[in-house]
Amino acid sequence: MFRLLLKIGLVLLLIGTLATSITFVQPGERAVVRRFGKVLADKPGAGLNLSWPWGIDRIDRVKVSQVRTVIVGFVGKETDDDSPSLPPGQLLTGDHNLVNVRAEINYRVIEAEVENFVLNGERRTEALIARATESALAEWLAGHRVDDVLLQGKTALREFLVERVQEWIKDYQLGIQIEQASVPMLNPPRQVSKDFDAVAEEHTHIQTRKYEAEQRADARKRTTEAEVFQIERRTSSYVLEQQLSAQAEAANFRKRFEQYQTLKGKDPDDYLRVLWQEEITRLYAQMRQTGRLDLLDHHIGADGLNIMQFPLPKKK
């Protein structure tokens, strides 16, 4: 009977030894093997892993693909007005106003440094992240006025916390990387929240009025630019028209002067006839456009001479 029990015990011991020698590493995990407390260089990935039984080898499996979260700051209720202590996450701004702040830090284990994460332990690692985050929050808030904190803090703190927390924990060699930070809460204490809400509402109205004024100014600017463009176009057209008219008159004068030089030595009446024909031709051309001829009676002199002109009608 004793031998039977001994055999059963040996079989159970063998089964238990074999069971502790087999480790299945899931996808997204890395295993850290410590033999008699010393970390081995080999860090098995996903699959079946054989090792020495428990007591010789110790295997820790770490999910390196998992994003973990540390919550820091205000998570409870505010204390009574008579309480001498401040709740966690209630910090001072640069102009000595209190705000309630809560931050969430997301981190991931670095696969190549997974043994550092195992040696430090998840609890110690997250405690150090929390302390670094609290210090970073206090630093940023102390450097800004409460108005800037409430208006810009949730956005500005994201990048600041990622960089600052990673910088402060790097000397601890935790084997992690800060992936992202968020600030889901950044509010004034409830005792003064109504006053801050009123200030924020007024600031919104100011920004709205400022935007509307900028829109009106921009519209007026565009209208003025369009008017200036039209004036410049009309001015350019008028200048060109006057230049062409002056050039035509100069050319006509030179032509007449040449005719006069040619005809003056012969018969001056020939020049006068040519001049008269040109004027009549111009007059008839104008009549063809308007179809009328106006008399200038106030130019009739004592000798009974009638002077006629042909004015162009005004453009409508």
pLDDT tens-place string over residues 99-133:
999 999 999 999 999 999 999 999 999 999 999 99
Residues 72 and 58 in one domain: no
In a domain, 209, yes or no: yes
81 pLDDT higher than 60: no
Say what the pLDDT of residue 197 is: 65
Local confidence band at 299 (pLDDT 50, 70, 90 cut-offs)? low
Per the CB < 8 A criterion, the answer to whether 60 and 120 are in contact is no
- The answer to whether position 268 is within a domain reads no
- Which 3 state secondary structure label does DSSP give 223? helix
Question: Residue with structure tokens 């055999």?
Answer: 7
- Residue that is last in its domain, among 263, 278, 300: 263
Q: What phi, psi does 33 have (nearest 5°)? A: -105, 125
Same domain membership, residue 182 and residue 207: no
Least reliable range by pLDDT among 13-27, 31-45, 269-283: 13-27
- How does pLDDT run across 43-70, given as a tens digit for each residue? 887 777 766 666 677 888 889 989 999 9
For residue 36, pLDDT beyond 90: no
- Per DSSP, the residues of 78-112 read PPPTT-SSPPTTEEE-TTS-EEEEEEEEEEEE-GG
Q: Among the listed ranges 27-31, 151-155, 290-294, which one has the minimum average pLDDT value? A: 290-294
Domain boundary among 191, 215, 237: 191
Has residue 26 got a pLDDT over 70? yes
Please tell me the predicted confidence (pLDDT) of residue 288: 67
Residues 6 or more apart whose CB falls under 8 angstroms from that of 92 comprise 98, 141, 142
Residues 164 and 223 in one domain: no
Q: Quick one: 119 and 23 in the same domain?
A: no
- Is residue 314 over pLDDT 60? no
Contact 128, 169 (CB under 8 A): yes
How high is the pLDDT of residue 167?
94
Largest distance between two CA atoms of the chain: 169
Task: Determine what percent of the chain is predicted with pLDDT higher than 70.
Answer: 70
Structure tokens at 154: 């949730």
pLDDT tier, 32 (very low <50, low <70, confident <90, very high otherwise): confident
Question: Looking at residue 310, what is its pLDDT?
Answer: 46
Tell which wins on pLDDT, 168 or 306: 168
Two tokens, residue 177: 């990387």
Domain boundaries, position 239:
202-263
Q: Work out the average pLDDT over 209-226.
A: 91
Q: Which two tokens stand for residue 167?
A: 């910088």
Average pLDDT, the chain: 79
pLDDT of 3 strictly over 80: no
In 3-state terms the chain splits into helix, strand, coil percentages (rounded to 5) of 55, 20, 25
Give the residues across from 100 on adjacent strands. Answer: 90, 187
Assess if residue 289 is contained within a domain: no
Domain annotation covers residue 42: yes
Q: Which residues contact 144 (CB under 8 A, 6 or more apart)?
A: 93, 94, 153
Task: Please say whether the dihedral angle defined by the alpha carbons of residues 86, 88, 93 and 98, taken in this order, is positive or negative.
Answer: negative
What is the signed CA dihedral for 214, 219, 224, 226, rounded to 10 degrees? 140
Is residue 72 domain-shared with residue 178, that is, in the same domain? yes
For residue 22, is pLDDT > 60?
yes
Q: What is residue 305's predicted lDDT score, i.e. its pLDDT?
A: 45
Question: Mean pLDDT across the stretch 20-43?
Answer: 80
CA distance 296 to 284: 17
Of residues 57 and 171, more confidently modeled = 171
Q: Is 36 helix (H, G, I), strand (E, B) or coil?
A: coil
Dist CA 220 CA 227 (whole Å) = 10
- Tell whether the model's pLDDT for residue 40 goes beyond 80: yes
Question: Given this model, what pLDDT does residue 303 score?
Answer: 58
163 and 239 share one domain: no
CA distance 127 to 166: 14
